[in-house]
């Protein structure tokens, strides 16, 4: 298959044909990063001269964007490319767009074993607690519902039981909340005095990424004393709720939830505003998921 690298024939008139050739080489190698290509294959596949292809590849190899196997003299996708596409850069547009559309601070988090780690932020909200990249929250019930709602029953059971033997009331509430999360696609965190205190304490306790007995007991106390999430019956006309955050899951190509995006209004919202914010967060989560699956998870 011969790829068209003639900028004059592309939909948009490019201003730099040499740059177009470099991009074409990288696209060709990136389409099959596990494969090695010969100079002849690259030259023929892109319809460029061997001399031009060699000059491009020599420069890319020097910067480790491309590797050259000295035994086979064949070329492949290089390790330096991964360092250029950190999530903070890869998803910056989606995060800034969500922050601007909602007027909230927005967080991008990743699950890292037993913790949820903030890896990027956008926007600003003076009402919300200050939070930065690297902030950790333990992955322990009732937190992380956007990660476990789509998990199998065994994983959900292990997540809930990690805080100790839950009361029947908590089991019933969590079951209803997880079912509702799967239906609407997002998680709502109520803004309460207990939430602010427990959330700060849990962040401090999870700095090392471990969930110990103190962390589990604190999370259980919060779960037992708080109303977790907001269910449809609680969203009647004229009813308002103080809302801390609204989060939606981000899935990888295998359908597993590996990240989440959160908008933090820290304000009192009615049913319509909560639903509207949740839908916007879900749109951003899908856009980030599409980009993640297009370019791969580089973090």
Contact between residue 121 and residue 135 where contact means Cβ atoms under 8 Å apart: no
Phi, psi of 188, deg, nearest 5 = -115, 130
The reported pLDDT for the residue numbered 34 is 77
- Architecture category of domain 7-84 in CATH: Orthogonal Bundle (1.10)
In the CATH scheme, what is the code of domain 87-295?
3.30.450.40
Q: Where are the domains of the chain?
A: 7-84, 87-295
Q: Which residues contact 37 (CB under 8 A, 6 or more apart)?
A: 28, 29, 45, 74, 75, 76
Mean pLDDT for back-to-back runs of 10 residues, the chain (299 residues): 42 72 92 88 95 95 90 87 62 92 95 90 88 88 96 95 92 97 98 90 76 87 93 92 98 91 97 97 95 69
Fold matches, 7-84 and 87-295: no
Q: Which residue has the tokens 């899935």?
A: 251
pTM over 0.75: no
Q: Is 174 left (phi over 0), alpha (psi -120 to 50) or beta?
A: alpha
Q: Which residue has the tokens 């024939």?
A: 9
The reported pLDDT for the residue numbered 4 is 44
The reported pLDDT for the residue numbered 183 is 97
Phi, psi of 207, deg, nearest 5 = -55, -35
The reported pLDDT for the residue numbered 174 is 97
Contact between residue 33 and residue 76 where contact means Cβ atoms under 8 Å apart: yes
The reported pLDDT for the residue numbered 31 is 83
Q: How far is Cα of residue 112 from the mean position of the Cα atoms in its chain? A: 12
Please report how the helices 92-102 and 271-295 are oriented relative to each other, as an axis angle in degrees rounded to 10.
170
Contact between residue 57 and residue 42 where contact means Cβ atoms under 8 Å apart: yes
| Rounded Cα distance, 244 and 248, in Å | 14
Q: Which residues contact 182 (CB under 8 A, 6 or more apart)?
A: 149, 150
Contact between residue 107 and residue 121 where contact means Cβ atoms under 8 Å apart: yes
The reported pLDDT for the residue numbered 88 is 55
Q: Which residues contact 110 (CB under 8 A, 6 or more apart)?
A: 87, 116, 117, 119, 258, 259, 299
| Rounded Cα distance, 188 and 273, in Å | 12
The reported pLDDT for the residue numbered 1 is 36
């Amino acid at each position: 298959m011969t790829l068209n690298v003639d900028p004059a024939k592309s939909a948009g008139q490019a201003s730099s044909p040499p740059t177009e050739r470099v991009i074409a080489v990288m696209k060709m190698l990136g389409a099959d990063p596990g494969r090695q290509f010969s100079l002849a294959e690259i030259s023929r596949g892109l319809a460029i001269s061997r001399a031009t292809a060699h000059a491009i590849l020599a420069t890319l190899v020097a910067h480790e964007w491309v590797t050259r196997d000295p035994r086979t003299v064949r070329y492949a996708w290089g390790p330096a490319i991964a360092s250029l596409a950190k999530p903070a850069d890869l998803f910056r547009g989606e995060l800034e767009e969500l922050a601007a559309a909602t007027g909230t601070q927005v967080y991008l988090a990743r699950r890292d074993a037993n913790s949820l780690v903030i890896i990027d932020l956008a926007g600003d909200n003076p009402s919300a607690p200050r939070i930065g990249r690297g902030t950790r929250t333990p992955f322990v019930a009732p937190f992380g519902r956007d990660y476990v709602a789509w998990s199998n029953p065994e994983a959900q059971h292990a997540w809930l039981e990690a805080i100790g033997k839950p009361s029947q009331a908590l089991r019933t509430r969590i079951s209803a909340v997880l079912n509702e999360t799967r239906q609407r696609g997002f998680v709502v965190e109520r803004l309460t005095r207990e939430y602010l205190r427990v959330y700060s304490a849990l962040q401090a306790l999870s700095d090392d990424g471990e969930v110990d007995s103190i962390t589990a007991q604190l999370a259980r106390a919060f779960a037992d004393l708080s109303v977790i999430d907001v269910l449809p019956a609680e969203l009647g006309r004229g009813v308002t709720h103080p809302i801390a955050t609204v989060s939606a899951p981000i899935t990888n190509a295998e359908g597993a939830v590996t990240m989440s995006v959160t908008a933090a209004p820290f304000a009192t919202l009615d049913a319509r505003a909560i639903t509207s914010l949740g839908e916007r967060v879900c749109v951003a989560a899908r856009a980030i998921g599409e980009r993640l699956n297009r370019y791969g998870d580089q973090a």
